[in-house]
Structure 1
Amino acid sequence: MPLLSDALQTADMLLIDDLHAFSFSLDEKGLSIECMDGRELKRWHFVPEAVSQARYDDSAGLWLIDDVDGPHRLACMDAIIAAEEENE
């Protein structure tokens, strides 16, 4: 069974509830995520127990993780990096 903590180790960005988040951290206090939604800063914090109990939905390709507000959809992603073009 996959673990969310393992997936977070290689992720460059997250997709949480359809919002892209580049600012996130996982430590002994849990998972913290921040992102801008227009002009509004959104923040989530998941305690370590929620991270360890996150469920992977293989058919949707995302994690389901709960906090006090209920379930959230979370996908771990690799950032797209554009290759530099050489000028001739």
Structure 2
Amino acid sequence: MTRYLCPKCRTNRSRFNIIEQVATSVKIDPQSGEIVERYTNDNLDPFHIPYRGPQFRVQCGVCGLVEAEERFAKSAEHQP
């Protein structure tokens, strides 16, 4: 695990929420908004790009800031 420091409130080093991001690829009917089809990474159609975002994000348990893990880790590196 990596040490964190909230880049916004600059006081929290111990209370965080790890938010796991689980992407679901779908095709939606443009008129009704209904899900027409669900995809897996093995059966995406040629016009559907697989999710390439971060696997998780971090939320400060004090001020509520939600950012990429790297921001919290870099803050901890710069303020030992």
Q: TM-score range by the shorter chain?
A: 0.3 to 0.5
Higher RCO, 1 or 2 (CA under 8 Å, sep at least 6)? 2
Q: Per residue, is there more strand in 1 or in 2?
A: 1
With normalisation by structure 2, the TM-score equals 0.33
